[in-house]
Structure 1
Amino acid sequence: MENKSERTAEGMTSKKPQELVEPTKPEETEFYTPVPPTVDPTGQNGVPSDALVLFDGSDLSNWEHVNDGRAAEWDLNEDGSMTVKNKSGDIQTKQKFGSVQLHIEWRSPKPINGKGQHRANSGVFLQGLYEIQVLDNNDNDTYVNGQVGSIYKQSIPLAKASVPTGAWNSYDVIYHAPEFSESGDKTKSATITVLHNGVLIQDHYEIKGTTAYIGWPKNPPHGKGPIKLQDHGDNSRVSYRNIWVRELNE
């Protein structure tokens, strides 16, 4: 008799369809390996126990400036958030990532300053290349593939789910990195799912390539990359807090 501990999902799915025989016993479709790891969903301070905390409000030690690698100079606030320091430059994580689950919270400032793309404009970049737009669109229309929650210049969000200006928004992201051949050709596109304040706004969208301000998406071959936060350079003063990731093994 087969030992149940040796029966695995892989064992069944590895057979070709024509080789499969219809199961006649319930235990023939019961798997016991691999056993998923146990994760405490609330962990410490509400963060899953297997997550890497990138920013908890205490310091900016996990971040650096994009252009020259110097220590991040954005403003650290008493409420446990950080705010874009105008024209200081984009910042990115020192650590590089591939596929991830990302949680990040952001807030547009009050009083309101600017309009269109110049009101609380920032962005969250996966692998330093693929941008989820951050913008205050409350009573502030702009091009829809550049509005809040868009995959910039590519995918219009399914809904606008912003909270009132000055309140905290959240993005929860499932991102699967692209794949490239040894010759540098893209063999699999990146995909992204985004929930904005718990509302699905990007549903497994297939990213076409880099999210450029001008021009078509490009697909330079790359490996893991940083998570980048944008300084739009127009005194947008966007704030961020509670940033953590779970690396997804694929």
Structure 2
Amino acid sequence: MKLQLSFIILLAINSLNACAQENAKPEDTEVWQPVPKVVKPGNSNSHIPSDAIILFNGKDLKQWVSSRDSTKAVQWIVKDQVFTVKKGTGNIQTKQAFTDYQLHLEWRIPKNITGKGQARGNSGLFLAGWGIGDEGYELQILDSYNNSTYVNGQAGSIYKQYAPLANPLNPPGEWNVYDVAWTAPRFNSDGSLKSPARVTAFLNGVLVQNGVELKGPTQYIGKPSYKQAHGPLPIKLQDHGDPSEPISFRNIWIRPIESMNTPE
């Protein structure tokens, strides 16, 4: 009888949680205080390690495919050893899937950027992603230089989960650098979570995420949770589709570390 009662209570709790998610709004998970302190970054070192896989060679996007259709080439624009989001063409992702890795990526907000808040140079680095949309684990890309928004949505944040420890962003028109250590989540054979994803991230040489444990994939509305077991996944870059000028990228390389420091 006690076991049956406990089961009924659990069902009731799950039902209440489901109703709460259905009635949730994006603002429910926005955090505005405390605001990370502004830090002036030093010079970033972009030398490529000898064992790195080059994900962008300055010439083409052959290491990437469209997230909408992985059989199609990327339509983003390559020019002068830089590639730029072509708005409306959708997200792109690496051909190769990864588990744990070290990643280096440089990105630039246009000097003539317009808009404000989340509509000012918005993109995203999905450290592991799937599907045609924004499914995955997002490290935010945004113009956070003198641009107010919710702090768990500014540059350097694990979107809607962890605000950055500092705001070392360069002004629009200058390059910013992400250096990331990603440990993928592990799942048991029944699909339940064995160990969560972990992220350490530096933005322009300043620590912004210190080994944080992710609560699940990125969730725009509602609380994140692990609902889908998965293995190695590609890295995605976001075509956010806002009206501001598109973001540019360069110097992207990765070092898979799948056999090192993996969770027990």
Fold shared by both chains (TM-score > 0.5)? yes
TM-aligned CA deviation for residue 126 of structure 1: 1.1
Secondary structure in 1 matching 2:252: strand
Residue of structure 2 aligned with 1:247, choices 224, 247, 256? 256
Partners of 1:46 and 1:216 lie apart in 2 by 38
Partners of 1:178 and 1:112 lie apart in 2 by 36
Give the AA of the match of 1:240. F
Residue of structure 2 aligned with 1:168, choices 156, 170, 175? 175
Out of 202-211 and 213-222, give the one that drifted further: 213-222
- The answer on 1:151 being equivalent to 2:158 is yes
1:144-164 CA-partner distances (Å, limit 9, x unpaired): 000110000000100001011
Residue of structure 1 aligned with 2:192, choices 185, 204, 212? 185
- The answer on 1:75 being equivalent to 2:77 is yes
Identity of aligned residues (%): 52
1:107-162 CA-partner distances (Å, limit 9, x unpaired): 00021221110111001001111100000011210000001100000001000010
**Equivalent position of 2:119 in the other structure:** 118
Partners of 1:67 and 1:217 lie apart in 2 by 24
Pair member with larger Rg = 1
Give the AA of the match of 2:234. P
* Unpaired stretches in structure 2, ≥5 consecutive residues: 1-44, 130-135
- The answer on 1:96 being equivalent to 2:105 is no
TM-score w.r.t. length of structure 1: 0.80
Give the AA of the match of 1:108. I
Q: Structure 1: which 4+ aligned runs deviate by more than 2 Å?
A: none
TM-aligned CA deviation for residue 218 of structure 1: 2.9
Partners of 1:56 and 1:152 lie apart in 2 by 28
Residue of structure 2 aligned with 1:218, choices 221, 225, 230? 225
Secondary structure in 1 matching 2:118: helix
TM-aligned CA deviation for residue 215 of structure 1: 1.9
**Equivalent position of 2:3 in the other structure:** none
Give the AA of the match of 2:171. P
Partners of 2:198 and 2:158 lie apart in 1 by 11
* Unpaired stretches in structure 1, ≥5 consecutive residues: 1-41
Tell me the number of residue pairs that the alignment of Structure 1 and Structure 2 aligns.
Answer: 206
Higher relative contact order (CA 8 A, sep 6+): 2
Secondary structure in 2 matching 1:117: helix
Query: What are the equivalent positions in structure 2 for 1:4-19 lying under 5 Å apart?
Result: none
